[in-house]
Amino acid sequence: MFPQAGVRSPTRRALAGRARAGGETVSAMKPLEERFWAKVRKSDGCWEWAGVKSPKGYGLIRAGVNHPWFRKRRMMAHRLSYELAFGEFDQELCVLHHCDNPSCVRPSHLFLGTHGANVKDKCAKGRQARGATHGTRTHPESIVRGERQGSHKLTRVEVREIRNRYAGGETQSAIAKAYNVTRTCVGGIVRRKEWRWLD
């Protein structure tokens, strides 16, 4: 049978890619529910996901070709757990954890909520980093500043020189011309709105 005019037929490589999933062919892949439960470690409390996890600790599983989420390739294990226990739900909703354990897939520990409810839940449980627990305070070395920042125009030495020249009475316009930057840039440096972290 010939493909319809204007419709591209999939290449062999694309067909082979669709046929593979985690090293197994689609025809040999076990049903999604069976693969899901094989990766769950049940206990009296949380049911821990023992398969692949995201960097934030959420379980991930390949959806399989017959599932509507197949295009995403991997789906969140706790979302699948909720769907298996309670049926399909609006995909715009979040699946939240009562237990606050990202790798938990126990249906009784899960509930639906909007994105706003998810944010409120996170704040109420103290998982919103702020103040002393914010990443900029706990790992200040990870902040890309000054010369490490890709679009920098000045070096640390030049910024210190600019501050010293301004403190010595030189105008911002004259300093800006000398360093080939704008007067606004010099003003931000001397008022410590820019490069404020540099002494």
Domains in the chain, please, with CATH? Answer: 12-130 (3.90.75.20), 145-190 (no CATH)
The phi and psi torsions of 142 (rounded to 5 degrees) equal -85, -10
pLDDT, residue 109, reads: 95
Q: What is the pTM of this model?
A: 0.54
Whether the pLDDT of residue 71 is over 80: the answer is no
Chain segment 83-108, per-residue pLDDT in tens: 999 999 998 999 999 998 999 999 99
- Flag the least confident range among 23-37, 78-92, 151-165, 185-199: 23-37
The DSSP code sequence of 32-88 is HHHHHHHTEE--SS--EE-S-B-TTS-BEEE--TTSTTGGGSEEEHHHHHHHHHH--
| Tens-place pLDDT, residues 120-168 | 988 888 777 777 777 777 787 777 777 787 788 899 999 999 999 999 9
